[in-house]
Amino acid sequence: MNKLFYKIYHGNLAFSAIEEEALAEVIDKTYFSLLELIEKDNLKVGLELSAYSLEKVQELRPLWIEKFKELHKKGLIELIGSGYMQLIGPLVPYEININNQKIGLEVYNNILGIVPTIAYINEQVFSKSMVDIYVEAGYKAISMEWNNAYSIHPQEWKKEYSFQPVVAKGLNSTIPILWTNTIVFQQFQRMAHQEISVDEYTTMIQHHLNIGYKALPIYSSDLEIFNYRPGRFETEAIITTDEWERISNAMNKIKEYGKFCLPSEIIEKSLDSNIELDLTTTANPILVKKQSKYSLSRWAACGRGTNLINTLCYNYLTNYGINKKLLQYWGSDYRTHTTIKKWNKAIDFLTQENQDSNDKHKTIINDITLKEENNKLIFEKDNHKIVFNKLKGLVLDKIYKNGKLLQFGTVWHGDLDYISHGADFYTGTTTLESADIRKIADLYEIENYTFDKVDDNKYKLSTTINMKGQATEYKSWIIDLDNNTIALDINLELKEFIKGSIRLGGLTLLPQDKDSNFWYECKNGGQEYERFNIDDSIKIEHSQAKSLLQSSSNGMGVTDGVLRFGIDKDIICEIEIDREISYPFVMLQNSYDHDKYLTRIFFGLQELDDTLKVSENREFRLRYKINI
């Protein structure tokens, strides 16, 4: 079988660091240059383009549209789908995902008369639900990164699975997957930017062919970085030569070793439908592209104020429904290196009619007095007993219902055997952490509190905590006996910006037996819950820092706000986040002890990575409720 090559250039005119005024220049230097390369060298190429970007091209350079159609008719270029906007599918609700794809397909057809059959997973961020989304939208295949998926399946997967397209499993469907390869495309970029020679590059290509690749993804990343620099990084290479000419020379050289095909031709010629792969794992329910600095927090809790814009987008969806502007501002590029001008425009649009979603509780005559025993505040009514800890920032100690202990609260020092678990683990804790302030928790003794009855069978316990002068925290527990819930409501006001993580209201499950059928489930961008089983071979460390510059490792979408834990068929803890109050980044920590698990959930309102910018926002909110 002849060796096959394919390329998918990723075009994105919402590119975070590029101002609107520069888009015409970007199109001239990169989009037209790509078409010229294809025509000159008779080179087959795939181009992934968001429908938003296509609209911008039509507005600014309509001639490009005609040239694209001409090359498409000749069979030299294939449109790869993206959706209306490039957004992070596993972090947004199902309605946004499916409408993003459907609106995108309509725009492609209206402007180009083309309906793409292959979709490039946005930002290469994947959950199992994405398979079902793209199948429902009508796509026949997806394109997704190999490297990180392979890295989390070192024992089960063979390297040979990357040598040709295979099949990816979703929750209810499967779809062919055309691999992208980060190492290979980064070598292409280094060659184009003169960091390595063309000869060194072709030697690398030969190496991959020699080890067995049948279909090699030559390139699968940004289009706008050749003969142009977006200005994201200080280390961007200086342009000293015609990079498109350099690419042309390299591609003509490697034609000696294989044949360039369109992405759909690669699937037709080399798909191995006998290999079906589950890309995710219990510890990694969501996959992210490239090297480790690309944590999921990048689009969930970093940037100029990602939690803020995610919350505003969710409220806009709730109040006004879906339109192109909402899809645009839910785009991934507004969450990383976006310019202040683009950021302000987005925030102004999303807040113009945003409703105040704060609760306005009335206060009525209270029929209960809290008991105080051994620095604990004890609420008792009907069949409920709820204990709070005054010494530790009014954290939740334990809850009894009908005399039975519920499975969340505080795990005390000495409850577990391993020395790594020799500490107290609370429910309702807030932490601030950075290189400047180190780590500050809200675990202070409570001197003053209020306890009010706010409805017929609803009570509110509140306090204010000064966190070493860095922040003031307003913490409330709301006990709703009619609806059998307890809610935690936190409002944190920072004195000044913190270049680090802000995590509110962390929750701890009571230790579960290792020999139990223990699981968790949530939605990661789809219609259905994704369930993951936990066993003692699995360590989940989403909240662990990857480095001094990366405060978390992974996380979950929890895109309808609900996170459940269970044993066998029973739910032992169900948490529901109020997404209208805030859209936190949810992280799971699970480690095993001698015969138990320690399980903790963290809610990141801000995380640290290379995209985090100084923000004027000083207020952070979190509200979630737990069934009791």
CA-to-CA separations, 420 to 52, 416, 417, 423, in angstroms, rounded: 50, 9, 9, 8
User: pLDDT tens, 278-293?
Assistant: 999 999 999 999 888 7
At 352 the pLDDT is 76
Dihedral angle over CA of 608, 610, 611, 616, nearest 10: 50
Q: Summarize the confidence of residues 53-58 as an average pLDDT.
A: 98
Residue 180 has what pLDDT? 98
pLDDT at 350 (0 to 100): 96
Provide CB contacts within 8 A for 576, sequence distance 6+: 561, 562, 624, 625, 626, 627
| Residue 40: pLDDT over 70 | yes
Q: Which two tokens stand for residue 561?
A: 């706000």
pLDDT tens per residue, range 373-397: 999 999 999 999 999 999 999 999 9
DSSP string, 411-464: BPTTSSSSGGG-S-B-BSEEEEEETTTEEEE--PPP---EEEEEETTEEEEEEE
State the average pLDDT over residues 596-605: 97
First to last CA, the chain: 62
Confidence of residue 354 (pLDDT cuts 50, 70, 90): low
pLDDT confidence of residue 233: 47
- Which residues, in sequence order, are bridge partners of residue 562? 576
Which CATH number applies to 371-627: 3.20.20.10, 2.70.98.10, 1.20.1440.230, 3.40.50.300? 2.70.98.10
Q: How do the domains of the chain map onto residue ranges?
A: 4-291, 299-351, 371-627
The third-level CATH classification (topology) of the domain covering 4-291 is 7-stranded beta/alpha barrel (3.20.110)
Comparing CA positions, the residue from 576, 536, 546 lying closest to residue 560 is 576
Angle among Cα 562, 565, 569 to the nearest 5 degrees reads: 115
Query: How high is the pLDDT of residue 217?
Result: 98
Position 304: which residue type? R
DSSP labels, 500-559: EEEEEEEEEBPPEETTS-EEEEE-SSSSSPEEEEE-TT--EETTS-SBTTB-----B--T
> What's the chain's average pLDDT?
95
User: What pLDDT score does 506 carry?
Assistant: 98
Give the burial string for 584-612 (b: 16+ CB within 10 Å, else e): bbbbbbbbbbeebbbbbbbbbbbbbbebb
CA nearest neighbour of 424 among 396, 402, 463, 405: 396
> Residue 470: which residues within 8 A CB-CB, separation 6 or more?
432, 437, 440, 494, 495, 496, 498
Could you tell me which residues are beta bridge partners of residue 81? 119
Please check whether residue 605 is in contact with residue 503, taking contact to mean a CB–CB distance below 8 angstroms. yes
Residue 25 token pair: 């220049």
Say if residues 379 and 366 touch (Cβ distance below 8 Å). Answer: no
371-627: same fold as 4-291? no
Question: Which residue pairs, CB below 8 angstroms and at least 24 apart, start in 395-402?
Answer: 395/426, 395/427, 395/428, 395/429, 395/443, 396/426, 396/427, 396/428, 396/477, 396/486, 396/488, 399/486, 399/628, 401/628
Please write the tens of the pLDDT for every residue from 88-115.
Answer: 999 999 999 999 999 999 999 999 999 9
Give the single-character DSSP code of 85.
S
pLDDT for residue 236 is more than 70: no
Read off the pLDDT of each residue in 225-246 and give the average, rounded to a whole number: 78
For the chain, the maximum distance between any two Cα atoms, rounded to a whole number of angstroms, is 86
Predicted local distance difference test score (pLDDT) of residue 423: 96
Portion of the chain with pLDDT greater than 90, in percent: 93
* Integer CA distances (angstroms), 574 to 340, 406, 428, 429, 516, in order: 39, 11, 15, 18, 18
pLDDT at position 292 is 80
Phi, psi of 283 (to 5 degrees): -75, -25
The predicted structure's pLDDT at residue 359: 54
pLDDT score of 357? 47
Kindly tell me the sign of the dihedral angle through the C-alpha atoms of 490, 332, 220, 137: positive
Q: Which residue has the tokens 């609900």?
A: 562
What pLDDT does 364 receive?
84
R_g of the chain computed on alpha carbons: 26
| Beta bridge pairs of residue 431 | 441, 503
